[in-house]
A = this chain, B = another copy of it.
Amino acid sequence: VVSAADPDPRIARSTHLVREAALAELAERGYGGFGIESVSRRCGVAKSTIYRHWPGRLALVADAFESLDVQPPDMAPAAVGPWVRIEELLRHLADAMRDSRFGGCLPALVEASEHDPDVRRFLHGFSARRRQALVDAIGRAVAAGEVRPGLRPEEAALALSGAIIYSRLMTDRLVEPDDVGGLMEAVLGPRP
């Protein structure tokens, strides 16, 4: 919405404050309770200023989410074995679920994506990118013989990601980072 090259420091300040407040608002009150005026009060930026930079509720929500930019960790793709790489990716996802800024907004994100194409694009893109990294790692694990032959990486990645997401959204007990090992063994078989 706002050009990254915008030189005006006032605009940069406003957008930053608003995005922070928007995320806090979403995590705290949910998508239904999210309000522009509430964000305005929370961060001290005038409502008219917010409307000058974002066309409305949904755009602000989508933009705030994008600013989160929770990418899968790219470090050490080859230096470690595939099993460890898989574990790293899943731990990172499990951590994100516990982060108030991302995990707290996830339900709102899911709901918003249902009716707004921008939000959906972001959410599905985020999800797909992450899963692809997992698929790659599982494929390498199959090739390296660390998991049973014949295991299909796509379905396995869906099941592993799904377990973590699902436990966050529809369960009383979310998958902790230390639970990741057990989860992997349940899907991929015994640790090599």
Contact = CB atoms under 8 A, between A and B. Distances in A.
Interface of A: 29-33, 107-108, 110-115, 123-124, 127-128, 148, 150-152, 154-156, 158-167, 169-172, 175, 182-183, 185-187, 189-190
A167 B158 contact: yes
B156 A161 contact: no
Contacts of A186: 151-152, 154-156, 158-159, 187
Contact of A155 (B152, B155, B183): B183
Number of copies of this kind of chain in the complex: 4
B111 A152 contact: no
B30 A114 contact: yes
Name the prevailing secondary structure of the A interface residues: helix
A159 B171 CA distance: 13
Contact of A110 (B115, B154, B155, B169): B169
Nearest to A112: B32
B31 A182 contact: no
Contacts of A29: 115
B170 A163 contact: no
Given A155-B186, A185-B152, A111 B164 contact: no
Nearest to A160: B159
A167 to B, nearest CB: 6
Nearest to A166: B162
Contacts of A171: 124, 127-128
Given A128-B171, A161-B166, A165-B165, A148 B111 contact: no
Most chain B beta-carbon contacts within 10 A, residue among A115, A123, A158, A172: A158
